[in-house]
């Protein structure tokens, strides 16, 4: 039962800490852009608190899909985090939920909610943004699936906690070329999934005029925003638990170390997302995705030929 407690604990702690790293990223980004930026690292907390004080405004034409969108977004984001085997290991009660397929389906659900909520808002730009979000899945999911398939075939299991354990013990790992190559393509998929520039269509402000979140405001927006930050952490978490799983035995220390590592990844991504314009879906984005897919395919071939 204690594993369930840790499962909930890791979600709560990450929910509380994640905005801090967002704040760090913002300060760093401001420095790179030669502006002052927020006064400290706590700006995202203040933003979310401020948003929660604001009232709701909802388009007349929208339905419950739109209204409950932010809650479900936040909920699925939190669920994604919960199933990451950070503080609990294999064999515990919680680890039965920690499965690659569970994670893939939860993230597909998150994307689905994102899409229908934005289409339901009645804003044509949000609708276009929502449908693009689905298009991204078409490009990213094959890459992600193929990379994970290689890992699952190597480990002979789809349970994330067990895979993590095997990598830790060295049963599978970077000594296998297939695993190493899969880590590269999965890293790309993870970055795209976390929805940051140049792949961020979720908040593609100008081009799609405020993107999918365009019609949300106040607490709704704050919640949806927090949900997206959680998703980013979950995606980083997934990468860490498969490809960089070394950590402490003690669940508290493990959680601390995980947050630190994920935070570093989150903040370091500023060095990518700060520079250059967004990619267009059917031109630059597609060619990128095809390259990444080739890499993941190489990993699969390497597994099949058995080197």
Partner 1 sequence: MKKGDNFINKVKEKITVHDIERQTEDQVTITVDRNDLPEAVRMLYYDMGGWLSNMIPNDERQLNGNFALYYVISMEGGKMTPEDELPQEQKCWITVKTYIPANDPTFPSVTCKVPAAVWYEREAFDMFGLKAVGLPDPRRLVLSDDWPEGLHPLRKDAMDYRHRPDAVDHQDEPDYKFLEPSGSGVVDVPLGPLHITSDEPGHFRLYCDGDTIIDADFRLFYQHRGMEKLAENRMNYDQMGYLAERVCGICGYAHAIACIEAAERAVGIEVPLRAQAMRVICLEIERLHSHLLNIGLACEVTGNINAFMHIFRIREFTMELAQLVTGGRKTYGNVVMGGLRRDMSSAEIKKSLDLLVTIEQQLIEVWDAVMDDKAQVGRWKGVGILDRQVARDFSPVGPNVRGSGFARDSRHDHPYDFIDQLEFNVAVENGCDVYSRENVRYKELLESISIIRQCFEMMPGGQTIIKPQTMIKPGAFAIGNDEAPRGENVHWIMHGNAQKVYRWRCRAATYNNWSSLRYQFRGNTIADAALIVCSLDPCYSCTERVTVVDINSQKSKVLTHKDLKRYSQTLKNHPLKNM
| Sites of contact with partner 1 (CB under 8 A) | 32-35, 124-125, 128, 197-198, 200, 204-210, 214, 274-284
CB of 33 to partner 1, least distance (A): 4
For partner 1, the closer of residues 277 and 306 by Cβ is 277
Q: Contact, 11 vs 82, CB < 8 A?
A: yes
- Distance in angstroms (rounded) separating the CA atoms of residues 8 and 203: 29
- Distance in angstroms (rounded) separating the CA atoms of residues 62 and 64: 7
For partner 1, the closer of residues 116 and 149 by Cβ is 116
Sign of CA dihedral 270, 276, 36, 44: negative
Q: How many CB atoms lie within 10 A of CB 222?
A: 21
Q: Can the peptide bond before residue 198 be classed as cis, meaning omega within 30 degrees of 0?
A: yes
CB of 209 to partner 1, least distance (A): 6
For partner 1, the closer of residues 219 and 281 by Cβ is 281
Residue 53, class by beta-carbon neighbours within 10 Å (0-12 exposed, 13-18 middle, 19+ buried)? exposed
CB of 133 to partner 1, least distance (A): 13
Closest CA to 179 of 142, 153, 140: 153
CB of 72 to partner 1, least distance (A): 24
For partner 1, the closer of residues 7 and 51 by Cβ is 51
For partner 1, the closer of residues 91 and 124 by Cβ is 124
- Within 8 A by CB and 6+ apart from 112, the residues are none
CB of 167 to partner 1, least distance (A): 35
């Amino acid at each position: 039962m204690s594993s369930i407690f840790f499962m909930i604990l890791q979600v709560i702690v990450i929910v509380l800490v994640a905005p801090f790293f967002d704040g760090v990223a913002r300060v760093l980004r401001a420095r790179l852009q030669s502006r002052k930026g927020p006064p400290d690292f706590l700006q995202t907390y203040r933003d979310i608190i401020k948003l929660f004080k604001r009232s709701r405004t909802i388009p007349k034409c929208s339905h419950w899909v739109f209204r409950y969108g932010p809650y479900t977004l936040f909920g699925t984001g939190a669920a994604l985090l919960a199933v990451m085997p950070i503080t609990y290991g294999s064999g515990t009660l919680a680890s039965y939920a920690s499965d690659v397929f569970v994670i893939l389906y939860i993230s597909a659900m998150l994307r689905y909610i994102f899409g229908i909520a934005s289409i339901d808002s009645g804003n044509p730009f949000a609708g276009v943004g929502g449908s693009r979000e689905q298009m991204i899945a078409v490009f990213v999911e094959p890459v992600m699936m193929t990379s994970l398939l290689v890992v699952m075939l190597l480990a002979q299991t789809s349970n994330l906690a067990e895979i993590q354990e095997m990598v830790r013990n060295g049963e599978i790992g970077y000594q296998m070329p297939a695993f190493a190559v899969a880590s590269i393509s999965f890293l790309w998929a993870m970055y795209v999934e976390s929805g940051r520039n140049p792949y961020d269509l979720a908040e593609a402000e100008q081009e799609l005029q405020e993107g999918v979140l365009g019609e949300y405001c106040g607490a709704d927006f704050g919640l949806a925003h927090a949900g997206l930050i959680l998703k980013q952490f979950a995606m980083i978490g997934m990468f860490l638990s498969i490809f960089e799983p070394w950590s402490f035995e003690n669940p508290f220390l493990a959680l601390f170390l995980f947050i630190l590592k994920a935070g570093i990844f989150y903040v370091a991504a500023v060095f990518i997302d700060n520079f250059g314009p967004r990619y267009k879906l059917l031109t630059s984005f597609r060619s990128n995705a095809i390259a990444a897919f080739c890499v993941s395919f190489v990993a699969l071939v390497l597994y099949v030929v058995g080197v």
